[in-house]
Amino acid sequence: MDRSIAWRSALGQALLVAFVAVVLGALFERAFFEDWGWLAGPGAWGLCALVVGAWLRLPLGLVLVGAALSGVLMLPGVLVGAHWLGAPLGLAAFGAWCGWLGAGRARSRPAEAAA
């Protein structure tokens, strides 16, 4: 695992998701989130993950898979009404996933450099 990519992806995801949450919270009433939170939350999580993946030059399809898998870890908190309870676990899992993707990318670089 590439630890540098792992922590940068987790931190980048946390900052982007927090920014999007603040912006959406300022733009929409609580009723919007009660009616559309099931779509807005995962959508924001996925879009932020794609931005982080592009920033770190990771394969975006696999980044999106990691975002979906790490998002599932947040569901228990959402179901009990403690929405942000699972966020640290989701961020850690997303960071680990991206670190794993980054390690695969680093292994392929020496072969490219030798060519």
What pLDDT, in 10s, does the model give residues 52-61? Answer: 999 999 999 9
Give the Cα separation of 8 and 10 in Å (integer).
6
Residues 98 and 58 sit within 8 Å (Cβ to Cβ): yes
Nearby residues of 104 by Cβ (< 8 Å), 6 or more positions away: none
Tokens standing for 114? Answer: 């030798």
Give the Cα separation of 1 and 98 in Å (integer).
9
> What confidence category does residue 34 fall into, taking pLDDT thresholds of 50, 70 and 90?
confident
Q: Which residue has the higher pLDDT, 80 or 46?
A: 46
Give the Cα separation of 45 and 111 in Å (integer).
34
Give the Cα separation of 89 and 83 in Å (integer).
12
CA distances from 45 to 1, 82, 94, 115 (A): 22, 17, 10, 38
- Residue labelled with tokens 């980044």: 63
> What confidence category does residue 101 fall into, taking pLDDT thresholds of 50, 70 and 90?
very high
Predicted local distance difference test score (pLDDT) of residue 109: 59
